Amino acid sequence: MNSLDADVVIVGAGIAGCSAAIAAAKEKKKVIVIERSENIGGNATQSNVGTICGAYYRSFSEVARIAGYTFSNDFLNKLISVSDNCQPKHFHKGLFILSYEWSVLQSFLEAELLANGIQIMRSTELISVEKKMHSVSKLGIKTGNVIVNIFPKAVIDCSGNGIVSQLAASEMIVSSYYQSASQVFRMQGVLSDNEFSLNMSLKKAMIILVKKNNWPQSFVFLSVVPGSLKNGQADFKITFPDKITDSDDANNALYIKARTQIENVFPHLKNEVEGLKNAFLETIFPKLGIRTLQRPKGKYILTEEDVLSCKKMNSGIALGTWPMEEWQSDGNVLMEYFETDDAYMIPADCLISFDLDNLFFAGKNISATTKAIASARVMGTCLQTGYASGKIASCETAEKRELMIALLNKELLIGNE
């Protein structure tokens, strides 16, 4: 049986995992990233979310103002520089978004990991976690048909479902209800060049088709992914009413069902929407857009009161600027806003396991209530929690960790004055 040593092991190579890995590598740590799929990017690329939300303050100013670290600003500017027609823009009620092309983001993330000397283990599944005293002592992984043991000094779980804590039998934050999932698909040969008018045509057509074909009511909210309509191509997002659970098998079955339903819906759309009469279905993206699942319990659990009151904390290591956004089974989205030009702070203890001293979290895995994670799950916030977790996990003693948290808090405040 093979074995590896590492200073920091990252589980999950989404936006949070990649930023955590880069941050730890810049602290001169040996970093290994474990990714169970073949590709980098998580939901951002494999579900093709299509827009980076929460990277900027909500504001009615004409100019987007970055929220978070210099790292976030540099990351997004680099992405913009390698992208075509990619700039932050107003979306709704003062919210700014940054549209991206999934393949560009995937290549960018991979290049950043390799440039920082980070070892990437693709198609690799975490299968066991062993503990010694109050620390993770060994990770068992399966890569191909080979079992490998990794002996980490620190672990950062960015899996999206708290897999490290699950396997370690730690307490989880589990909900009876998770937000409805969406599936993104791409069409070519789209005649319309106006996103607003195409969305209006879609809405009108789907109201008729849902009633005629007895489709789920959530299909009425089929829409163009903002910023994706260009050069005769567009991505579309459709929400499914089916219950999301913590079962991988059930969620994989829902993805197969979603593919079948999209293939059924598509011919009807061609017939009903003038701008789609010459369109063809190019891609149904390979992952269902599952927004949240169970999360590990940290030393602190972020609450909806923290979010809506824009609570500030001395141990704050990330700034949340996105409203609480909850997708319902009927396709409606509930948005709960706080004040413009303001943010809440996510404390470091949301990124630190309550019972394992060397286990940390980032991204959709942070310790938060169901409503709080509905805000903190977005990519702009994941960039920050990933960066912060990478820095904190690089500290080998509790004293150094506390100093790092203070430095991160100071960096946030200075960068957002």
Q: How confident is residue 417, by pLDDT bands cut at 50, 70 and 90?
A: low
Coil, helix or strand for 407?
helix
Q: At 12, phi and psi to the nearest 5?
A: 110, 125
Q: For residue 354, what are its two tokens?
A: 């309550």
Counting beta carbons within 10 angstroms of the beta carbon of residue 84, is it exposed (0 to 12), middle (13 to 18) or buried (19 or more)? exposed
Judge contact between 282 and 186, C-beta under 8 A: yes
Q: For residue 322, what are its two tokens?
A: 């996105």
Q: For residue 173, what are its two tokens?
A: 């934050």
- Mean pLDDT across 243-267: 95
Nearest Cα neighbor of 299 from 346, 344, 343 is 346
Q: Can you say whether residue 93 is alpha, beta or left, with left for phi > 0 and alpha for psi between -120 and 50 degrees?
A: left
DSSP string for 89-100: EEEETTEEEEE-
51-93 pLDDT, tens digit per residue, is: 999 999 999 999 999 999 999 999 999 999 999 878 899 998 9
Q: At 333, phi and psi to the nearest 5?
A: -120, 125
Strands (E), 225-358: 233-239, 280-284, 295-296, 316-320, 324-327, 333-336, 344-347
Nearest Cα neighbor of 356 from 136, 156, 128, 137 is 136
328-350 pLDDT, tens digit per residue, is: 999 999 999 999 999 999 999 99
275-303 pLDDT, tens digit per residue, is: 999 999 999 999 999 999 999 999 999 99
355-374 pLDDT, tens digit per residue, is: 999 999 999 999 999 999 99
HSE-up (13 A, CA, CB side) for residue 284: 16
DSSP conformational letter for 38: S
**Which pLDDT score, from 0 to 100, does residue 415 have?**
64
CA dihedral (356, 362, 363, 366) positive or negative:
positive
